[in-house]
Amino acid sequence: MIGPDDVRLDGRVALVTGAAVGIGAACATTLAAFGADVALVDREPEHLDAVAAAVAATGRRVTTAVFDVRDREAVRDWVSSTADELGGVDAVVNNAAGTFRAPFETLSDRAEDALVAENLTTVTTTCRAAVAHLRPGGSIVNITSVEAHRAAPGFAVYAAAKAAVANLTRTLALEYAGRRIRVNAVAPDVIPTPGTGMLAHAYAAKEQQGESLQPWPDAGRAEDVAAVVAWLCSPMAAFVTGSTIHVDGGTWAAGGWRRQLDGDVYTL
């Protein structure tokens, strides 16, 4: 029988990257609310301290580290020291990411390398470092994007890196199934956070023209993403691996269809 206790995370240890604001912060506090001890990393110390305080207020253990997760050696040291300090690892949430709009042909080599490092290499590094410490029943959740599943003019390399993470998720799910480690992805659309101001503005501009870029009438919240992450990290999702869950108000399902704001009429 499945019961409410099967979504609890008591006695489990979760790592969250990019945990200072937005989706990462929501994941950290939600995982703690469901009983997990949480290790947080971000390059922004001020906001990270506030998230750590919110986690501590739930009564759960919390550790913080301040560094750029593109630093592979720092990631490996963090994962190892966290496993020693908190007694192992049960869940990893790869949330750290970043992008900017630019025509593909104008990207410098340095800019392209930075996009790949921030959106793909950080995930491979963290997964590789964590898998040695993940206990059976463990869960890796990679935060991708709806852009991993559609064209993204102006964000070509970012979208390609996110698509690579989606494929990596499926592949690692098979590689680690025998060890009972599940690997899944969550693909949000625009969630109002400090890092999505430009895209949120584009959505608002479209609404002023009488159209919504997402079918669901309410804006998504970081907590909506965190709820799915918590479920994927819980025993309730014990048979879910290799999947991407779209937390986007129906955007991916809609494809090119746009909902008119005066009703449920869709146009291409």
**Model confidence over 223-260: pLDDT tens digits?**
999 999 999 999 999 999 999 999 999 999 988 766 77
Determine, yes or no, domain membership for 211: no
pLDDT digits (tens, 9 = 90+) for 10-60: 999 999 999 999 999 999 999 999 999 999 999 989 899 999 999 999 999
Q: Give the CA dihedral 162, 167, 170, 176, nearest 10 degrees.
A: -90
Question: Is 176 among the residues known to form the active site?
Answer: no
Determine, yes or no, domain membership for 210: no
Determine, yes or no, domain membership for 205: no
Give the per-residue pLDDT at 45.
Answer: 92
Three-state secondary structure string covering 3-46: CHHHHCCCCCEEEEECCCCHHHHHHHHHHHHCCCEEEEEECCHH
Domain of residue 152: give its range. Answer: 4-198+219-255
Q: What is the pTM of this model?
A: 0.91
Which residues on adjacent β-strands are paired with residue 183? 140
Instruction: List the catalytic residue out of 158, 176, 203, 266.
Output: 158
Give the per-residue pLDDT at 266.
Answer: 62
> What is the pLDDT confidence band of residue 197, given thresholds at 50, 70 and 90?
low
> What is the pLDDT confidence band of residue 112, given thresholds at 50, 70 and 90?
very high
Report the CATH number at residue 106.
3.40.50.720
Task: Please count the structural domains in the chain.
Answer: 1
Determine, yes or no, domain membership for 183: yes
Whether 207 shows a pLDDT value over 70: the answer reads no
Least confident span in 81-85, 98-102, 182-186? 98-102
Determine, yes or no, domain membership for 266: no
Determine, yes or no, domain membership for 73: yes
Whether 66 shows a pLDDT value over 80: the answer reads yes
Give the per-residue pLDDT at 80.
Answer: 98
Treating both helix axes as pointing N-terminal to C-terminal, what angle do 156-175 and 122-131 enclose, rounded to 10 degrees? Answer: 20
Whether 96 shows a pLDDT value over 80: the answer reads yes
DSSP assignment letter at 105: G
Determine, yes or no, domain membership for 66: yes
Determine, yes or no, domain membership for 22: yes
